[in-house]
Chains A and B, each alone.
Chain A
Amino acid sequence: MNFFKRLMHRSRLKSPFLFHINTGSCNGCDIEMVTCLSPRYDVEQLGIRLEGSPRHADILCITGPVTRNTLEAVKTVYAQVCEPKAVVALGSCPGTCNVFAGSPVIVGPLDKYIPVDVYVPGCPPHPDAIIDGIARAAQILADRGVPEAAKGETQK
């Protein structure tokens, strides 16, 4: 494990950029996610930044039970995020379709279409849980393509 790989591992751990997609969510999870950026929770101290373009992002935060209309958009945006990337499913909806399961317009759950790394269940999840989920995703992101030796280092 040379110096540059260690530096890259640490940088990926310390600077996850987010891109947020709403796939038909009721906005509950979206509001909780925006709360994480507010002074009370302040995710910027972990280096987390909400980006405007999926090209800039490392972590894709997806809320909502994947409606038929948004499916293609989710696949496109997932493809637009550059490797290495991680996906966080925020709330119960992307994981299980929640109360919308069985609806004719819902084609979820999300993991039928793109690989999900971290599930944050809850309806909506607490901001602390969301931050924890993003921190876990950052760890997964940093460990991708890095040998076993460096995996011990965690986000402080």
Chain B
Amino acid sequence: MNLSFLIHIFLFPGLLFAIPASWFYVWGERKATALMQRRIGPPLLQPFYDFVKLFGKRTPSRRGIEAKLLLLWPALSVISMVSAMAMLPVFSYSRGFSGDAILLVALLEMPSICFILAGFTSGSMFGEIGAIREAILSVACNVVFLLSIVTVAVTENTFRLSDFAGVSWNPGHWIGVFGILLCIPAKLRLNPFSTSSAEQEIYAGPLTEYAGAALAMWELAHGLEWVALTGFVATMMMPVGGWWWLHALLFVVISFAEVMLLSTFAAATGRLTLEGAIRFYWRWAAILAVLATAAAVYVRFRP
């Protein structure tokens, strides 16, 4: 456990950066949607106010293992997202906290698994419907997500995150990045893949029974998912070498540009049914992903 590791976890891009950034990104998404709908939208501090307010709510008391589990799922999501942030190779090769893409994929999948488990633990009918939808959607989009990671890995001939980072002129790298971008809306439960948390339609999905501080943790975990997923793609688009502050700045700018892109996509589309979402990922995206992976493998290992 060295100093660089601690800095990555607690300062940048870990806790101290990630939490304010998650509020800022969530605000950016809400504000952009509002502006696209010709509204004024929430003030800059809105996600922060929501977070503080939720901590001041008196929640219903529960007893037994269920109460502990209901608190464990959001806490686990937040912890795994902060760990995922700490792994991102924002700075050039030498400084990155070394880890591999397999661990990052596992950490990025944690909030989705916790979301499913939360739905089942809550015992709410709407929670269970939401959890089933999330489970199916997660299976649908992860095929494309994993194939995209494999495409990049084959192109770069490694699973090390620090070698994923940086701009590359290899088409395999960019096809992989595009594939990952295509999966982010489903992972963030944005339109058109918002069936699992479908507001109003199934009340609040798996979070129907959540209130107060636990709900605040979920909101935080969701914000951190925004930061981690857009940050992961941002590290794959940044140039290698140069000043560290320029890297940090570019990281934020590219991530925020992705937030704008995703919110435009979400505002421009309506909610697909579960079948529609699966059809999108398995019929169109998966075929392209398989072709991309096959092409990357061929190019890499051709005689």
Total B residues in contact with A, Cβ cutoff 8 Å: 37
* A20 nearest in chain B by CB position: B200
* A41 nearest in chain B by CB position: B39
Query: Which residues of the other chain, B, contact A42 by a CB distance below 8 angstroms?
Result: 34, 39-41
Query: Which residues of the other chain, B, contact A45 by a CB distance below 8 angstroms?
Result: 34, 39-43
Query: Which residues of the other chain, B, contact A75 by a CB distance below 8 angstroms?
Result: none
User: Binding site of A, secondary structure by majority: helix, strand, loop or mixed?
Assistant: mixed
What separation, in Å, do the CA atoms of A90 and B200 have in the docked complex?
A: 20
Query: Which residues of the other chain, A, contact B208 by a CB distance below 8 angstroms?
Result: 52-53, 55
B122-147: which residues lie under 8 A (CB-CB) from chain A?
126
Contact yes or no, A44 B34, CB < 8 A: yes
Q: A39-B37, A83-B57 are in contact. Are A11 and B52 (CB under 8 A)?
A: yes
Q: Is A22 engaged at the interface, CB distance under 8 Å to the other chain?
A: no
Q: Is A51 engaged at the interface, CB distance under 8 Å to the other chain?
A: yes
Total A residues in contact with B, Cβ cutoff 8 Å: 22
What separation, in Å, do the CA atoms of A12 and B212 have in the docked complex?
A: 12
| A24-37 to B contact mask, C-beta < 8 Å, 1/0 | 00000000000000
Residues of A within 8 A of B (CB): 7-8, 10-12, 14-15, 39, 42, 44-45, 47, 50-53, 55-56, 58, 82-84
Question: What are 14 A-B contacts with C-beta separation under 8 Å?
Answer: A7-B52, A10-B49, A12-B56, A15-B46, A15-B49, A42-B39, A44-B30, A45-B41, A52-B203, A52-B204, A53-B208, A55-B210, A82-B211, A84-B56
Residues of B within 8 A of A (CB): 30, 34, 37-43, 45-46, 48-50, 52-53, 55-60, 126, 199-205, 207-212, 215
